[in-house]
Structure 1
Amino acid sequence: MTLDVDAVKAFVTVADLRSFTRAAEALGSTQGAISVKLKRLEERIGERLIERTPRLVRLSARGAVFLEPARELLAAHDRAVASLTAVRRHFRLGIATHVGGAEVPTLLARLSAHDPALTIEVRLDDSRDLLAAFDRGELDAAIVRREDDRRDGEVLAPEHFGWYATPDFVYRAGEPLRLAASAPSCSIRDIVTGALDAVGIPWTQVFLGCGSFAVAEAVSAGLATAVFSCRLAPPGTIEVSRKFGLPQLPASEILLLSTLSDAQSREALRTLAMAFREHSPTANGARPRFRNSQMADSAI
């Protein structure tokens, strides 16, 4: 059996985005053309791969089985095409430390599999520093939290924040809140301390970490509370804004910024965006679920 690579790519894209419309946009095609390619693929295989209703697009049982082999087929095809040229390209990507989580290795692996001739240089830093580097031309693309009123970039997902601590962390009203935070240049730290000052809650920074991982370790050890993206809260911690009467924090958005314009690079960016949305639980606008259901009303 011989499969049409373009049809397989259409199937994988629809499966990733759960939408014919968004798949058409990602592939630079039309919804009708995507439907025709998928129908031909299903006729070739002899089974339905995608179940489609007016409100829902999802994989069939056979489609779920076929999805990973389909990815492997596309990756092998891309490697074969890439082997025909000796030209290697460089891709300088910045990922904000408070945005990227366990999905980062998957993002990079998907990007590498999509374009084996692409050398990826990754910089992990605070959103503010990455934005400055992007504006200076030091990065080709960046995944960051939206800063201030900046309006450029593609929105990948909404971003919600919460106050997290261990279940046995003790805080009494009127006492300074023991706070763990990253370096003073971190924009989230400014938002956190500003929110506490605005409602008159005294605070003391008992841990100054270099990066979100160090802060997470301090919070997991019960030394302090800290603000995290609800996607990236440390294991074993709970959201405590209602418990301790802490202020709500403004929601934000995760952006993909890029200056790349050539076709190959734009395709790589589409792959990156799809991989991020696939592995982000809030990519479709769903609000985060807190570990303690009684605190769900404190979502920000």
Structure 2
Amino acid sequence: MTTLDVDAVKTFVTIADLRSFTRAAETLGTTQGAISVKLKRLESQVGQRLIERTPRLVRLSAQGAAFLAPARELLAAHDRAVAGLSPARPRRFSLGIATHVGGAEVPTLLARLHAHDPALTIEVRLDDSRDLLTAFYRGDIDAAIIRREDDGRDGEMLTTDHYGWFATPDFVHRAGEPLRLAASSPSCGVLNIATRALAAAGTPLTESFLGCGSFAVADAVAAGLATSVFSCRLAPAGTIEVSRRFGLPALPPSEIVLLSALSDARSRAALKTIVSAFREHHRLPADRTTRTIPAEVLEM
């Protein structure tokens, strides 16, 4: 029976998440040479090539992709076994997620956190990026996943998000008329970017449903009552991107970052779990300099 080296499995998962031997070495506090040796040891144990590496690309092989989920389960089981050797102490972890950021990955993220540390009580707060930033610096939350504004705020970059103008296919807007815009809050950073872009383009605006909350905004847009700005992956079902149809200005992409001031080992491990789960759903685009939303999400 094959016996796997847990440390080597951890090295493989880290390389798979970061798609970089250099970053994996930095994360694990070791050298590229050391993680290469551990990966080769694991590949020898399983008799399969798990990572394909070229001078410009690091990616999973077909066997590596199939092994990734079982590898995570092995590491989670190992961590639970080690934790079981000492009395579990109740812990709390408060995480803020910006409303323009959180999507389908949130259940996976929470499930991964629970599997990593069953004794962890997870508190999740959904709010605008600016409000979460204030809460983070006040110490009200332990970590936050938010949009990076033009203020150059610190944080570990997770991915780049793209935004567009969305409405139902039958939504009507005539040139020269005020644009009916649904927005969740006057302080919303995405709304501010959108209104500045409209002002620069000379497009008049009438704000509808202002302050009704992010879910109500999505409902208003899905009902055909207004248009609004959404991440291209979070637009309401049944809506389309309408910037070309109505001559609306292109919106810049936004970096999503993780903020945390935690330093103890268990909390840092939880943060790595968050980063891993998030990046699985948000792979960085090949061209990080793109300043408009991808062409495939635009209405044809």
TM above 0.5: yes
The alpha-carbon distance between structure 1 residues 104 and 22, as it changes in their structure 2 partners (threshold 3 A), is same
Amino acid at match of 1:278: E
SS in 2 for 1:208: coil
Following the alignment from structure 2 to structure 1, what is the Cα–Cα distance between the partners of residues 210 and 42? 55
The equivalent of 1:126 in structure 2 is 128
The equivalent of 1:81 in structure 2 is 82
Q: Percent identity?
A: 75
The equivalent of 2:33 in structure 1 is 32
Instruction: Select between 77-86 and 186-195 the one with higher mean Cα deviation.
Output: 186-195
The equivalent of 2:93 in structure 1 is 91
- Residue 108 of structure 1 and its aligned partner are, at CA, apart by 1.5
- Residue 227 of structure 1 and its aligned partner are, at CA, apart by 0.5
Is the CA contact 2:8–2:42 (under 8 Å) kept in the aligned structure 1?
yes
- For normalisation by structure 2, the TM-score amounts to 0.90
Residue 289 of structure 1 pairs with residue 294 of structure 2: yes
SS in 2 for 1:76: helix
The equivalent of 2:62 in structure 1 is 61
Amino acid at match of 2:10: K
The equivalent of 1:271 in structure 2 is 273
Is the CA contact 1:48–1:62 (under 8 Å) kept in the aligned structure 2?
yes
1:224-235 correspondence runs (5 A): 224-235=226-237
SS in 2 for 1:193: helix
- For normalisation by structure 1, the TM-score amounts to 0.90
Following the alignment from structure 1 to structure 2, what is the Cα–Cα distance between the partners of residues 233 and 37? 42
The alpha-carbon distance between structure 1 residues 47 and 193, as it changes in their structure 2 partners (threshold 3 A), is closer
Instruction: Select between 81-90 and 253-262 the one with higher mean Cα deviation.
Output: 81-90
Give structure 1 stretches of 5+ with no counterpart. Answer: 296-300
Could you list the per-position Cα deviations for residues 80-103 of structure 1 after superposition, in whole angstroms to 9, with x for gaps in the alignment?
122223223221110001111111
Give structure 2 stretches of 5+ with no counterpart. Answer: none
SS in 1 for 2:180: strand
The alpha-carbon distance between structure 1 residues 149 and 201, as it changes in their structure 2 partners (threshold 3 A), is same
Aligned residue pairs, count: 295
Following the alignment from structure 1 to structure 2, what is the Cα–Cα distance between the partners of residues 126 and 210? 13
Computed over aligned residues only, the root mean square deviation of the Cα atoms, in angstroms, reads 2.0
1:146-157 correspondence runs (5 A): 146-157=148-159
Could you list the per-position Cα deviations for residues 129-186 of structure 1 after superposition, in whole angstroms to 9, with x for gaps in the alignment?
1011111111111001113413311111123221111222111011111111102232
The equivalent of 1:298 in structure 2 is none
- Residue 284 of structure 1 and its aligned partner are, at CA, apart by 5.8
Following the alignment from structure 2 to structure 1, what is the Cα–Cα distance between the partners of residues 43 and 297? 44
Following the alignment from structure 2 to structure 1, what is the Cα–Cα distance between the partners of residues 249 and 60? 41
